[in-house]
Amino acid sequence: MELTALTIHDLQGLLQRREVTAGQVLRAFLKRIAQEEGKVQAYMAVTGREALTRAARLDRRLDKGEQVSPLAGVPLAIKDVICTQGVPTTCSSKILEGFIPPYDATVMRRLDQAGMVLLGKTNMDEFAMGSSTENSGYKITRNPWDVSRVPGGSSGGSGAAVAADLCAGALGSDTGGSIRQPAAFCGIVGLKPTYGRVSRYGLIAFASSLDQIGPMTKDVRDAAILLRVFAGHDPCDSTSVDMPVPDYTAQLGREITGLRIGIPDEYFIEGMDAEVETAVRGAISVLESLGAKAERISLPHTEYAVATYYLVATAEASSNLARYDGVKYGVRTGKARNLLEMYMKSRQNGFGAEVKRRIMLGTYGLSAGYYDAYYLKALKVRTLIRKDFEEAFKRCDVIVTPTAPTAAFGLGEKTDDPLTMYLSDIFTISANLAGIPGISLPCGFTQAGLPIGLQLLGKPFDEATLLQVGFAYEQATEWHRRKPPL
């Protein structure tokens, strides 16, 4: 098999036994990127030259028999919302064009220490606002399974890069589904950790009470490997929680006999795609055949999740994005007669339409006179949604749902109608509002050959059970082995 088609754990074995060098692995990926990236457009930037230097340095150390770090020589792609020292980081926004962070995000520092090779930065919806990556200020990423369709979003570049074997694994960020939904659309594994499990230091903020960084990988074991490397408390992020990080891979392979899975009525709704429903129900039967006990549950406030999210997320975004004023970072308009005009023109030219829409919605929801009616009420409903999950988890260990109501939609299909675009996150948003972890993994394909995603939601800080159940399902099925026909 091609080196580029291998999982991280396969590559680890080859690299550690010195059957391949880090240089060989890297060159295989650079060659594939040269051949296929034009069709997919997953990357904002490929850092080939720096990567070659890094791989050569790693090889010299490995040749000397130095202790091998877990990711030594593994090439990863990083969503362009994560700060990389010395490497441009734009959030796919024109307003950050040319911004080169003077420091690494904590996740980057930890991956670096573990020996990974940075392959490049991936395309995304501008400031992670979107579900199709079409809101990028730079380029349109295509779904490797069908290049006339979207890869999902906002981590669409990472999703497409993993699916098309343009990297061994990737990092995404998830505020309302941006790891899980593109993972579903691209037929890969994507995990959103519990809020507080992973440091947000160096993650450019969209909605700070919802954002989390997580792995996007070719299988469940790879997600466990990456999460273990970068999760854990960080003094630079006061919302990261000081709890030990379990060895997630050690739990894989444990039986799931007796595990209680909850099937929420509210996630199997009229109007959802029949092929998606069939695939997810099929996956539930597989879990039952492995010994799990399925039970219907209710999450009664689900219908308010999208509205609540679009109040909370836009309010936080309007305040987070106030810092882009043309002074501190990125692009500044040259033609302005005074300071105010410079602020206004820089923001007007630098932000795309969706970002402006969110800033206006958020500012409105926070303004005097509307604060109580909108923002404050949304916070109260958010508590109700969290309590729904607390109640449900008294009766079950994991909750099983579809990741998205449809498979990947066509490019341009939803760009004129923000509301239908917002509704594509209907099944992923609640987990962010409640702060709980969620994973998406492939559970079938539509007639048209598009991947379908299965979502597992877990108790706070119980990523281990999600990975265990996901792994058991993956072992019993073959979906994760399929490759897109590029």
User: Burial of 255 by CB count in 10 Å (0-12 exposed, 13-18 middle, 19+ buried)?
Assistant: exposed
Tokens of 297: 């549950």
Site for ligand GLN (CB under 6 A): which residue of 37, 126, 425, 474? 425
Site for ligand GLN (CB under 6 A): which residue of 83, 128, 261, 292? 128
The closest alpha carbon to 469, from 284, 308, 317, 225, belongs to 284
CB 78 within 8 A of CB 123: no
Least distance in angstroms from the C-beta of 207 to ligand GLN? 8
Residue in 79, 121, 414, 459 annotated catalytic: 79
When the beta carbons of 71 and 179 are compared against ligand GLN, the nearer one is 179
When the beta carbons of 166 and 179 are compared against ligand GLN, the nearer one is 179
Residue 407 DSSP label: S
Scanning 128-136, 160-168, 325-333, 453-461 for contacts with ligand GLN by CB under 6 A, the matching segment is 128-136
Residue 440 DSSP label: E
Site for ligand GLN (CB under 6 A): which residue of 120, 130, 190, 326? 130
Binders of ligand GLN among residues 206 to 245 (CB under 6 A) are 206
Residue in 69, 92, 154, 199 annotated catalytic: 154
Tokens of 159: 């999703």
CB atoms inside a 10 Å sphere around CB 353: 11
Long-range (24+ apart) CB contacts under 8 A made by 305-309 are 305/385, 305/426, 305/429, 305/430, 305/433, 306/422, 306/423, 306/425, 306/426, 306/429, 307/378, 307/381, 308/378, 308/381, 308/382, 308/385, 308/433, 309/176, 309/210, 309/425, 309/429, 309/432, 309/433
Q: Does 154 bind ligand GLN (CB under 6 A)?
A: yes
How many Å apart are CA 321 and CA 329, to the nearest integer?
12
When the beta carbons of 74 and 183 are compared against ligand GLN, the nearer one is 183
Residue in 131, 155, 173, 178 annotated catalytic: 178
When the beta carbons of 154 and 468 are compared against ligand GLN, the nearer one is 154
Least distance in angstroms from the C-beta of 179 to ligand GLN? 7
Contact string 159-178 vs ligand GLN (x = CB under 6 A)? ---------------xxxxx
- Whole-angstrom Cα Rg for the chain: 21
CB 393 within 8 A of CB 295: no
Q: 459 catalytic, yes or no?
A: no
Site for ligand GLN (CB under 6 A): which residue of 131, 141, 212, 430? 131
Scanning 38-46, 104-112, 127-135, 299-307 for contacts with ligand GLN by CB under 6 A, the matching segment is 127-135
When the beta carbons of 51 and 312 are compared against ligand GLN, the nearer one is 312
Binders of ligand GLN among residues 305 to 364 (CB under 6 A) are 313
CB 402 within 8 A of CB 276: yes
419: CB partners within 8 A, 6+ apart: none
CA dihedral 185, 187, 189, 195 (to 10 degrees): 0
# of chain residues touching ligand GLN (CB under 6 A): 13
When the beta carbons of 126 and 463 are compared against ligand GLN, the nearer one is 126
When the beta carbons of 28 and 305 are compared against ligand GLN, the nearer one is 305
Scanning 123-131, 216-224, 257-265, 277-285 for contacts with ligand GLN by CB under 6 A, the matching segment is 123-131
Q: 154 catalytic, yes or no?
A: yes
Q: Does 134 bind ligand GLN (CB under 6 A)?
A: no
Give the number of C-alpha atoms closer than 13 A to the C-alpha of residue 386, restricted to the C-beta side: 16
Query: Measured between alpha carbons, how far apart are the two ends of the chain, in Å?
Result: 16
Active-site residues, by number, are: 79, 154, 178
The contact set with ligand GLN (CB under 6 A) reads: 128-131, 154, 174-178, 206, 313, 425
